[in-house]
Amino acid sequence: MNDTDKKIKEIQRDMLMRFSSQERLKMGSSMFTSARRLMLARLKTEITDPIELQVQFFEQTYRSDFSEIQLVKISTAIRQYWKRA
């Protein structure tokens, strides 16, 4: 979705750029951590198997970073790793 007015985007960007690069990195990291915590909390209400929880957590976190084939390979490797552990 992209319904933000161009002028508002410019204002937002200007506001963010007032922070140092270290502060922006810290804010981004904090937002990423918060999003992962929320996702994990939701997944825990849906999935009881701890291995499948790890797989779904990985897939939902990184699904836009890998092709479908890569996701399947990595998910399979995660399952195999945790079944051996």
pLDDT at residue 60, rounded to an integer: 95
pLDDT at residue 85, rounded to an integer: 77
Rounded CA separation 34/55 (Å): 19
38 in the same domain as 1 = yes
17 in the same domain as 57 = no
Give how many domains the chain has, as a whole number. 2
pLDDT at residue 1, rounded to an integer: 73
Contacts of 81 (CB under 8 A, 6+ apart): none
6 in the same domain as 34 = yes
pLDDT at residue 66, rounded to an integer: 97
pLDDT at residue 38, rounded to an integer: 97
Rounded CA separation 42/61 (Å): 13
pLDDT at residue 15, rounded to an integer: 96
38 in the same domain as 8 = yes
Give me the residues of the chain with pLDDT under 70, please: none
Q: Which domain holds residue 28?
A: 1-46
Q: What is the dihedral of CA 33, 35, 41, 46, to 10 degrees?
A: -140
